[in-house]
Structures are given as structure tokens and as C-alpha cells.
Amino acid sequence: MSPMSHNAAMMSVTPDDWSPADHPYAIAVSEAQWWQRATQLAVLRLREDDDRRISWFSSRQIDARQLVFALRQLLNAERLEQVALSTLGIDAAVGAALSTARQRFTDALPGIKHMRDALMHFDEWSRGEGKFGPQRQRRDAGAALRDVAREYWGFEYDSSRGTISLGLYTISVDAADRAAAELSNAIYLAAHQVDIKNTANLRAKTSDALTSAGIVFNLPEAEVTISSGNDLRIWITLSASARNDIVVIKDLANRIIAALDGSGLHLSSTNMAEAFDPTERLIRGEALYVAS
């Protein structure tokens, strides 16, 4: 399930009808992959010399900051995926596996959330007044504001060690690269289970629609075949023998289309380079996939 496949699925729906709120599990995958690539790009730039086009500022120090933000966004993508899994009623084991992946990520990058918070809310952290996390805990323990601020400050990328640090926290750039790739993949695998469930539901709905219309399928003598592809689509094809009688085959194709339509389904094709007539496409032997 790549961003490209998600975008293709989204574009198959009338733009006015589409909303990201209808596809949170897919949005989580897409965002995770974007932020993982942002992580990868930042790491590659950190391993190079400073870009001198920005005067005396160190481009690598800037890239280090962007890396922290990208890593934190991956945690947001994981959280969105968990919400989607729960809403869709996916097996709890899938969410548990994703939680384990999140824990591995945070173990590999200790303090990444707090590092991001310090950068994002520098107006508060520079005064020791971070609303949550370690600064609040230190204040509650009686520490002076200026001491709290000093303890959680000093952002730096150390090229000799390949580390990024802020206050008490230090992460490895190499570890960040690996951790981002692993969490992004875990989000993808979790969302793939949603696709599998959706495919099973769509196949059942398609089967029920044809059965209700008295259309026989997937039997040795049947002229209609319903199959699941590796692309997790449901495909319908008509046998070669059925196409020997144009009147019969045209009637069968129209009955299939009408049955699907009655269940809120329709046929589509990966070949949209020519005008799409599902009846004609079925008659000539093309496999068409079912969409809702």
C-alpha cells in the first residue's frame, strides 16, 4: 500500500465526495511514508558538508532540527493508525504489534518527543515553563525556573559522533534513520490488514449481490468468475464459452451490472485510455474490478 495506490484510490472517487476523514488508515500510511522520507533526506544531508548558500548558518544544524520534527510526526502517524484500527474493528493483535513497533522507536530515540517540544515551544522552554513533560516535573519538584530552562536547552548536531542532543537527551542519527524506516513499515503492515478486511467484505457483498440476482459464479459450469487479485481488488470475468452467443452474453453482462448497482457497487477498469462501457468490456473478455 503505497502513497501512489492511496492517491489512485482517492482519485477514483468524485473529488467533491472524497474526504480524508473517510480514510484515516490510508492517510496514516501516506503521512508516515512522507515523514520517513523526510527523515531519510535529513540524514543524507547531515552526512554531507554544510550548504554554504545560507551564509554563516550551519545547514546541518538546521537539518538536525528538521529531523527531530520529522521523527515526531511519525509518532503522530502511528497514533492515527491506531485510531483507525480501533474504529474499523481490526483484530486487536494488529494494534498491539503496532504499539510494540512504537515502543521500539521511542526506545531507539529516547526523549524525541521532548526534544521536539523544546524546539516547537522554545518560548516556554527557554524560560523553564514547558507546560508538560520534564520541565513541569522539575518545577513541581521545586526547581527554579532558570535551572529548569538550563537543563533542557542547548540543541546541537555533533558531526564527529553522529548524534543530536538537547539538554539531557541524545539520539543517534543512524539509529533515527533505521527507527523511522521500521516504524513506517509497521504502520504500512497494520494498514494492510485493513485492506485485507475490506477486500473480504467487498467480495462477500459482491457474491451476495450476484446470488440474489440468480447469477451462478465460480462453479465448473459457471460462466462468471469472481476472484481476488494480488492487488486486493475483486475481479469479475466472463468465460470464453459464454461469449459464443452475443445475445446471451450481453444479457448476462447487463444482469451483473444491474445486480452490483442494486448493492451500491459498480465495475471499473485499470484501462481508462478509452471510453468505458462495462457491458462491452465484459463481453470482449476483459477482467473488471468491483468498486463501491
Element (H, E) at 172: strand 169-172
What does the DSSP assignment read for 44-76?
A: HHHTSPPPGGGTTS-HHHHHHHHHHHHHHHHHH
Q: Phi and psi for 115 in degrees, rounded to 5?
A: -60, -45
The rounded distance, in Å, linking the Cα atoms of 135 and 168 is: 12
The rounded distance, in Å, linking the Cα atoms of 289 and 286 is: 10
List, as own/partner pairs, every contact residues 242-247 make where C-beta atoms lie below 8 angstroms and the sequence separation is at least 24, other chains included.
Answer: 243/283, 243/284, 243/285, 246/283
Question: Residue 189 is placed in which grid cell?
Answer: 503492515
Q: For residue 291, how many other CB atoms are within 10 A of its CB? A: 15
Residue 291, beta-bridge partner list: 266
The β-bridge relationship of strands 156-158 and 234-238 is: unpaired
> Based on the number of CB atoms within 10 Å of its own CB, is 52 exposed (0-12), middle (13-18) or buried (19 or more)?
exposed
Using alpha carbons only, give the angle 174, 177, 181 rounded to the nearest 5 degrees: 145
Question: Residue 231 is placed in which grid cell?
Answer: 492487488
What's the predicted TM-score (pTM) here? Answer: 0.83
Q: Contact 18/10 with Cβ under 8 angstroms?
A: yes
Per-residue pLDDT of the chain (292 residues; tens, 9 = 90+): 444 444 444 444 445 678 999 999 999 999 999 999 999 999 999 999 999 998 889 999 999 999 999 999 999 999 999 999 999 999 999 999 999 999 999 999 999 999 999 999 999 999 999 999 999 999 999 999 999 999 999 999 999 999 999 999 999 999 999 999 999 999 999 999 999 999 999 999 999 999 999 999 999 989 999 999 889 999 999 988 766 788 889 999 999 999 999 999 999 999 888 889 999 999 989 999 999 8
The rounded distance, in Å, linking the Cα atoms of 124 and 131 is: 8
Nearest Cα residue to 166 out of 218, 115, 117: 115
The rounded distance, in Å, linking the Cα atoms of 290 and 268 is: 6
